Chains A and B, each alone.
Chain A
């Protein structure tokens, strides 16, 4: 079907072009006729009248002018194919009339212009079907015969080419001559038509083939491009719902069909739940889960087959055929979504017309389904990991919360005894209670850090609380908090917090930011020896706030660097400065920074100092 449509449109386009070409040629032809008229006027030896030649030449000129105006107008207004076709016929008919008249006025059977019919035949064969070309040829033969016969019987006047004194040639009334020339003329035209139109038809066929081929190539290239695009979009996210939506939308667009849907197997493996849909009505979507027991179609698809239903009315494979018909769906094709280890579900395309899907479409849908399966499986795996992580976080939060209370009470009880509210205690008892209190303090710190870590990792809970927070103020508070400890330790604590452009708003929670910088500044103060310097600086980069916490402390050994942000990791030189530490501080920093969409990096040289750089996206107005 495709083939015929396109070759026709090509022929139409060609017709428009050839019309212009005709018109250009005809200017020359009319000039030739007028030149001929001038020629016979100046040559006394001929019997050819010049007046008819002048008239015919002028007529050709005039009707060509008309055609050129019509063609220009048709081009300007878009020009329908049938208009061009009519124009071509009109030109052809007038041209054949003109040549016939010219032949008559230039000697009929002996006219040298009879050869010019050849051009007309060739032109007709080039632009019309063989049938039309033959029709024109027979028209020419008929006109020629009429002239010849009428002149033979002297019904029409004969205009001799040579009329010198009394010299006249009467061959036009010689039966043998007339018959021979007439027969040669007719046979020439017929054979010429046969040869030229056959050749021309073959060329036209070739052209159509080339066109069809190029169309197929274009289609295939579009499909490849679509597959490529599909792979890119479905893999651009790990969010299951987005992956599914990309898949159905892309599939429907690329296959140029009305709708597409994905159904995924539920946990029982007995039902297909609707998961994503494009182009189907709410009512249709609302038909609910498909039970495999009642849907032979889906059972077969899940066995790994691509099933094409060319006519929904004729099919007994569907669970809800009436729903589909009511929705106006006449044909559909379904492909299995198969993961590496298990069946996932079904990808289905729907069309409004019957017999819409070819075997090419089946293969294409199968390819998209294969691509989609990988993406869906990845998204499902990611979802599982996220759920696990969230569960872990929730568990840690509940667990640590429950731990805090008894630990607090133990600490208070110890302190009550240590403070002497229960009577005097001896030095050994005090020492033991002090040790117990220290261990309990460490336990508390550990619980608090675990809680921070879990909070830092809880994107859902903290996302709701995020708001644009001025980073300047948070940092200033943190720095103030450490002024006294730094002073007592003999450290210089510098704060550079006035970046050009004023307040740095970041999309965060105050608690999260505080947690990050409290840990970093606390570490810097802790691991910088007396006389050293801790410097906290806030700067603006393109769309980010950059905070540097730099110290002149003990530094981080190169071998410790790769493990720095790992949970419970402590560098050996840090251990030697403070024996008890949870090793969770930097994990908390990294998790919290990640959760806020930022980055943290570190540069350090043992014995010289360390610089942590935290980069957070700015929450500018409107973003």
Chain B
């Protein structure tokens, strides 16, 4: 079985490391991109099996926008090739309560949210669950 490819798009190298290490340890091949544009280029080249996106990169909502573009319901979308790739969104939105975003098919077409700081075990479990 070929190694599954995961693309991490996050501008924080340390954050990328915390995602990369557990996932590599369980056998995934990890690729990194640091911003919106790089993320798109890398996604085109690699055709990853799953993408992990940070919400805040160049702008406070760059991750949202990237996710929206890739999962656009528009059949003519220039990103339609990415439509089938599951996306996990990393959020740093402040939380002491449970009143947070939950994936919404219409509002935010992503498979899962992970709140930072990410627990490695939960990260691995979430990735496994959504990996095609």
From A408, A477, A515, contact of B116 by CB (8 A): A408
- The answer to whether A404 touches B120 (Cβ under 8 A) is no
List B residues 16-33 near A (Cβ within 8 Å). 17-18, 21-22, 24-25
Complexed CA–CA distance, A412 and B99 (Å): 22
- The answer to whether B94 touches A448 (Cβ under 8 A) is yes
> B15 contacts the other chain (Cβ, under 8 Å)?
yes
On whether A514 and B117 interact (CB within 8 A), knowing A405-B92, A416-B21, the answer reads no
* Max chain B C-beta neighbours (<10 A), residue from A401, A405, A407, A515: A405
List A residues 376-422 near B (Cβ within 8 Å). 401, 404-405, 407-413, 415-416, 419, 421-422
When C-beta atoms are compared, the residue in chain A nearest to B13 turns out to be: A409
- The answer to whether B12 touches A413 (Cβ under 8 A) is no
On whether A421 and B97 interact (CB within 8 A), knowing A409-B12, A409-B117, A416-B18, the answer reads no
- The answer to whether B96 touches A448 (Cβ under 8 A) is yes
- The answer to whether B14 touches A413 (Cβ under 8 A) is yes
Interface string of B64-81 (1 = CB under 8 A from A): 000000000000000000
On whether A409 and B15 interact (CB within 8 A), knowing A452-B96, A511-B99, A518-B97, the answer reads yes
Query: In the assembled complex, which residues on chain B have CB atoms less than 8 Å from the CB atom of A412?
Result: 15, 18, 116-120
- The answer to whether A409 touches B18 (Cβ under 8 A) is yes
Query: In the assembled complex, which residues on chain A have CB atoms less than 8 Å from the CB atom of B17?
Result: 413, 416
Complexed CA–CA distance, A510 and B97 (Å): 11
From A415, A422, A448, A510, contact of B117 by CB (8 A): A415
Query: In the assembled complex, which residues on chain B have CB atoms less than 8 Å from the CB atom of A515?
Result: 96-97
> B121 contacts the other chain (Cβ, under 8 Å)?
yes
* Max chain B C-beta neighbours (<10 A), residue from A421, A449, A515: A421
Majority SS at the chain A contact face: helix
Majority SS at the chain B contact face: loop
> A481 contacts the other chain (Cβ, under 8 Å)?
yes
Query: In the assembled complex, which residues on chain B have CB atoms less than 8 Å from the CB atom of A452?
Result: 96
When C-beta atoms are compared, the residue in chain A nearest to B15 turns out to be: A409
Query: In the assembled complex, which residues on chain B have CB atoms less than 8 Å from the CB atom of A413?
Result: 14, 17-18
Query: In the assembled complex, which residues on chain A have CB atoms less than 8 Å from the CB atom of B92?
Result: 404-405, 408
Complexed CA–CA distance, A11 and B103 (Å): 89
- The answer to whether B96 touches A518 (Cβ under 8 A) is yes
- The answer to whether B21 touches A421 (Cβ under 8 A) is yes
> A451 contacts the other chain (Cβ, under 8 Å)?
yes
When C-beta atoms are compared, the residue in chain A nearest to B12 turns out to be: A409
Q: In angstroms, how far is the closest chain B Cβ from the Cβ of A469?
A: 12
> B2 contacts the other chain (Cβ, under 8 Å)?
no
Q: In angstroms, how far is the closest chain A Cβ from the Cβ of B57?
A: 12
Query: In the assembled complex, which residues on chain A have CB atoms less than 8 Å from the CB atom of B99?
Result: 477, 510-511, 514
- The answer to whether B120 touches A416 (Cβ under 8 A) is yes
Q: In angstroms, how far is the closest chain A Cβ from the Cβ of B52?
A: 13
Complexed CA–CA distance, A412 and B95 (Å): 16
Q: In angstroms, how far is the closest chain A Cβ from the Cβ of B64?
A: 17
Complexed CA–CA distance, A257 and B95 (Å): 59
> B132 contacts the other chain (Cβ, under 8 Å)?
no
Complexed CA–CA distance, A337 and B99 (Å): 52
> B3 contacts the other chain (Cβ, under 8 Å)?
no
Q: In angstroms, how far is the closest chain B Cβ from the Cβ of A159?
A: 117
On whether A422 and B21 interact (CB within 8 A), knowing A405-B12, A411-B117, A514-B99, the answer reads yes
Interface string of A8-19 (1 = CB under 8 A from B): 000000000000
Complexed CA–CA distance, A413 and B118 (Å): 9
Query: In the assembled complex, which residues on chain A have CB atoms less than 8 Å from the CB atom of B25?
Result: 421-422
List A residues 417-461 near B (Cβ within 8 Å). 419, 421-422, 444, 448-449, 451-452
Query: In the assembled complex, which residues on chain B have CB atoms less than 8 Å from the CB atom of A477?
Result: 98-99
Query: In the assembled complex, which residues on chain A have CB atoms less than 8 Å from the CB atom of B98?
Result: 477, 481
Q: In angstroms, how far is the closest chain A Cβ from the Cβ of B105?
A: 22
List A residues 88-144 near B (Cβ within 8 Å). none
Interface string of B91-124 (1 = CB under 8 A from A): 0101111110000000000000000111111000
Complexed CA–CA distance, A410 and B17 (Å): 11
Complexed CA–CA distance, A81 and B98 (Å): 83
Complexed CA–CA distance, A449 and B49 (Å): 38
- The answer to whether B119 touches A415 (Cβ under 8 A) is yes
Complexed CA–CA distance, A407 and B94 (Å): 13
Complexed CA–CA distance, A408 and B90 (Å): 12
Shortest Cβ-Cβ A-B pairs, 3 listed = A412-B18, A411-B117, A408-B117
A-B contact pairs, 8 of them (CB 8 A): A408-B92, A409-B116, A412-B117, A412-B118, A415-B117, A422-B21, A448-B96, A477-B98
A407-B117, A408-B116, A419-B120 known; 5 other A-B pairs, CB under 8 Å? A401-B94, A410-B117, A411-B117, A481-B98, A514-B99
